[in-house]
């Protein structure tokens, strides 16, 4: 990274850290939501942008992790963060491993259809059975906490604490994806996207490579889903549905697919637009759709392409 870029990143991070100290609680909660969906979008972009695989079932991994929290949380006390978070992420990873193992045998538009079908299967699993309230969903009465020997270290009931915890995980996700995409793993993943035939004949095990990426991506989507469920205090089947997957995909396309952080920008734009338009007009969805189409037409490479133009060529390859 160049010095100027590094300075900007540090400033942004500092701004993000002090943000809850300077805005009302409502905006702290709103920013938390943006970060959570940003994690989901960044996770999705590992397979969409870097792997060239358009997944339509990341909502399912996101929602599944939320359900794991809802089902494992005690009714009248806060769930233990150190226990339920790894459990939720592991469940999402396992689901991604299974769904990936089956759907990665297909290519292109068939892959989209197969992932869509698997996602909907998980949706109906929770919608049509009585698990966790069926189609009504279920409440998570108390937010998880991190406690040691009875002393609470992190209490997520406090909006600021919740925000900082989510911010920490968002930064961790960003760093993890940054390292992954620059490692041999990420180079091979991009190579398989650019020319699968050449990558295969060089000796790269494409299936295993993509399955690994898909599983990591699903696990990170689960991380986001866990915090989403904790924040809303409620899970419902809609959280697993294709609509959720599609919103994440819109964030990826809007932000840009070539940078690790670009989908996070996409999340900021989509959520910001929604928040603003809701206050302006009753038909905010229509307006939002039109604006999103306009942005995509103006910046086919995502908003990131605009930033790339301002900060030219980084040499960190």
Partner 1 sequence: MAEIALRTAALTKRFGGLVAVNDVSLELSLGEIHAVIGPNGAGKTTFVNLLSGELKPTSGAIFLGDRGIITLKDDRRGLSGIGRSYQKTTIFPAATVFENVRLAVQAHSAAPLALMHRTARDGLLLHDRANAALTTVNLQDRAAARAGALSHGEQRQLEIAMVVATDPKVVLLDEPLAGMSQSESRRMVEFIRTLRTGRAVLLVEHDMDAVFAVADRLTVMADGKVIASGAPDEVRLHPAVRAAYLGAETLHT
Contact call for residue 75 and partner 1 (CB under 8 A): no
**Min dist. Cβ of residue 211 to partner 1 (A):** 11
**Min dist. Cβ of residue 127 to partner 1 (A):** 36
Q: Which is nearer to partner 1, 2 or 285 (CB)?
A: 2
**Min dist. Cβ of residue 230 to partner 1 (A):** 28
Q: Which is nearer to partner 1, 23 or 183 (CB)?
A: 183
**Min dist. Cβ of residue 208 to partner 1 (A):** 7
Contact call for residue 305 and partner 1 (CB under 8 A): no
Instruction: Number of residues interacting with partner 1: please give it, by CB under 8 A.
Output: 25
Question: Can you tell me the distance from the alpha carbon of 185 to that of 203, in angstroms, rounded to the nearest whole number?
Answer: 14
3-state secondary structure the chain: CCHHHHHHHHHHHHHHHHHHHHCCHHHHHHHHHHHHHHHHHHHHHHHHCCCCCCCCCHHHHHHHHHHHHHHHCCCCCCCEHHHHHHHHHHHHHHHHHHHHHHHCCCCHHHHHHHHHHHHHHHHHHHHCCCHHHHHHCEECCCCCEEEECCEEEEECCCHHHHHHHHHHHHHHHHHHHHHHHHCHHHHHHHHHHHCHHHHHHHCCCHHHHHHHHHHHHHHHHHHHHHHHHHHHCEECHHHHCHHHHHHHHHHHHHHCCCCCCHHHHHHHHHHHHHHHHHHHCCCHHHHHHHHHHHHHHHCCCCCHHHHHHHCCCCCCC
Q: Which is nearer to partner 1, 56 or 213 (CB)?
A: 213
Question: Can you tell me the distance from the alpha carbon of 56 to that of 282, in angstroms, rounded to the nearest whole number?
Answer: 29
Q: Which is nearer to partner 1, 43 or 161 (CB)?
A: 43
Work out the angle between the directed axes of helices 242-255 and 262-280 (0-180°, nearest 10): 110
Q: Which is nearer to partner 1, 74 or 205 (CB)?
A: 205
Residues in region 209-268 near partner 1 by CB under 8 A: 209, 212
Question: Can you tell me the distance from the alpha carbon of 175 to that of 166, in angstroms, rounded to the nearest whole number?
Answer: 14
Contact call for residue 101 and partner 1 (CB under 8 A): no
**Min dist. Cβ of residue 17 to partner 1 (A):** 26
Contact call for residue 175 and partner 1 (CB under 8 A): no
**Min dist. Cβ of residue 193 to partner 1 (A):** 9
* Ramachandran angles phi, psi of 301, nearest 5°: -90, 15
Residues in region 132-151 near partner 1 by CB under 8 A: none
Contact call for residue 312 and partner 1 (CB under 8 A): no
Which residues are paired to 154 by β-bridges? 146
**Min dist. Cβ of residue 202 to partner 1 (A):** 4
Point out which span in 45-53, 57-65, 179-187, 301-309 binds partner 1 (CB under 8 A).
Answer: 179-187
Q: Which is nearer to partner 1, 150 or 184 (CB)?
A: 184
Binding mask 190-219 for partner 1 (x = CB under 8 A): xx--xx-xxxxxxxxxx-xx--x-------
Q: Which is nearer to partner 1, 134 or 301 (CB)?
A: 301
Binding site for partner 1 (CB under 8 A): 179-180, 183-185, 187-188, 190-191, 194-195, 197-206, 208-209, 212, 317
């Amino acid at each position: 990274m160049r010095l100027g870029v590094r300075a900007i990143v540090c400033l942004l991070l500092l701004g993000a850290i002090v943000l809850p100290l300077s805005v009302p609680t409502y905006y702290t909660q709103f920013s938390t939501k943006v970060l959570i969906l940003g994690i989901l979008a960044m996770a999705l972009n590992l397979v969409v942008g870097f792997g060239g695989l358009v997944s339509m079932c990341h909502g399912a991994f996101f929602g599944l992790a939320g359900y794991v929290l809802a089902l494992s949380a005690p009714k009248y006390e806060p769930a233990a963060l150190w226990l339920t978070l790894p459990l939720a992420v592991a469940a999402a990873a396992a689901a991604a491993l299974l769904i990936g193992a089956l759907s990665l045998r297909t290519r292109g538009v068939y892959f989209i259809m197969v992932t869509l079908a698997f996602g909907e299967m998980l949706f109906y699993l929770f919608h049509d059975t009585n698990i966790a309230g069926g189609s009504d969903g279920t409440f998570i009465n108390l937010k998880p906490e991190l406690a040691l020997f009875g002393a609470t270290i992190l209490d997520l009931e406090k909006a600021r604490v919740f925000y900082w915890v989510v911010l920490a995980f968002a930064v961790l996700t960003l760093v993890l994806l940054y390292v992954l995409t620059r490692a041999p793993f990420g180079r091979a993943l991009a190579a398989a996207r650019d020319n699968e035939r050449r990558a295969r004949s060089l000796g790269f095990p494409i299936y295993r490579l993509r399955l690994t990426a898909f599983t990591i991506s699903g696990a990170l989507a689960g991380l986001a889903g866990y915090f989403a469920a904790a924040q809303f205090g409620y899970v419902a089947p809609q959280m697993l549905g294709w609509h959720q997957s599609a919103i994440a995909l819109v964030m990826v396309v809007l932000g840009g697919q070539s940078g690790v952080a670009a989908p996070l920008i996409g999340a900021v734009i989509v959520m910001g637009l929604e928040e603003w338009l809701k206050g302006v007009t009753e038909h905010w969805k229509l307006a939002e759709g039109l604006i999103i189409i306009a942005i995509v037409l103006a910046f086919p490479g995502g908003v990131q392409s605009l930033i790339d133009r301002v900060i030219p060529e980084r040499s960190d390859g």
